[in-house]
Amino acid sequence: MLFDILKSRRSIRKFQKREVEKEKIDVILKSALLSPSSRSIRPWQFIAVTDRELIQQLSLCREPGSRFLSGAPLAIAVIADKDSSDVWIEDASIAATIIQLTAQDLDLGSCWIQVRERFHTEQKTAGEYIREVLGIPEQYSVECMIAIGYQGEEKKPYEESTLQYEKLHFDKF
């Protein structure tokens, strides 16, 4: 049940050495392609990275929020053509979320690494750095990367009793 997946999904930043099977990577990528998008423009593209050296380089895109990526066997960069849609951020974020939930459904852990609006150095954005590492054409912006792998840490699922029910409103605020 999707609700159980939502409760058990936690940000996982430690991973086992074990590789993610190609079949699972394929399911995750196909799921991303099924993401809804405004006016069905589908402005996103996805780069699945399993090359250890590239993952190591990507882990340096930000300090310190991306360092843990070096221990992940798989990273998926979520990029989008920002000139093709005024809501590319929403579209890319939805796809990234679907990637995380599909990974969870496949017994994999994952964590979002924010790239848009983040910096590699004072002079270079995290997106520009990743563009260089992965050879991404100019027209695409990097929204985020999702680190994925078999969990190397345990985190408790969320309990329904701890949800912020005060944030729910019915009919009027």
Ligand X SMILES: Cc1cc2nc3c(=O)[nH]c(=O)nc-3n(C[C@H](O)[C@H](O)[C@H](O)COP(=O)(O)O)c2cc1C
15 touches ligand X (CB under 6 A): no
Q: Does 11 bind ligand X (CB under 6 A)?
A: yes
Residue with smaller CB distance to ligand X, 27 or 101:
101
Residues 6+ apart with CB under 8 A from 75: 48, 49, 55, 58, 69, 145, 146, 147, 148
Answer for which of 10, 14, 42, 82 binds ligand X (CB under 6 A) is 10
Stretch that binds ligand X, among 19-27, 74-82, 107-115, 164-172 (CB under 6 A): 107-115
Work out whether 113 is an interface residue with ligand X (CB under 6 A). yes
Please tell me what DSSP assigns to residue 33. Answer: H
Closest C-alpha among 139, 55, 24 to residue 32: 24
CB 143 within 8 A of CB 85: no
Does 46 sit near ligand X (CB under 6 A)?
no
Q: Which of the stretches 9-17, 32-40, 84-92, 161-169 binds ligand X when contact is defined by CB under 6 A?
A: 9-17
Number of residues that bind ligand X (CB under 6 A): 8
Instruction: Identify which of 44, 53, 145 has the alpha carbon closest to the alpha carbon of residue 100.
Output: 145
Nearest approach, Cβ of 97 to ligand X (angstroms)?
Answer: 8
35-39 contacts, C-beta under 8 A, 24 or more apart: 35/91, 35/94, 35/95, 35/98, 36/94, 37/85, 37/91, 37/94, 37/95, 38/85, 38/87, 38/90, 38/91, 39/85
Position 114 contacts ligand X (CB under 6 A): yes
Tell me how far, at minimum, the Cβ of 163 lies from ligand X, in Å: 12
Query: Token match 């190397």: residue?
Result: 152
Site string for ligand X, 63-102 (x = CB under 6 A): --x-------------------------------------
Min dist CB 21 to ligand X, Å, is 24
Binding site for ligand X (CB under 6 A): 10-11, 13, 65, 111-114
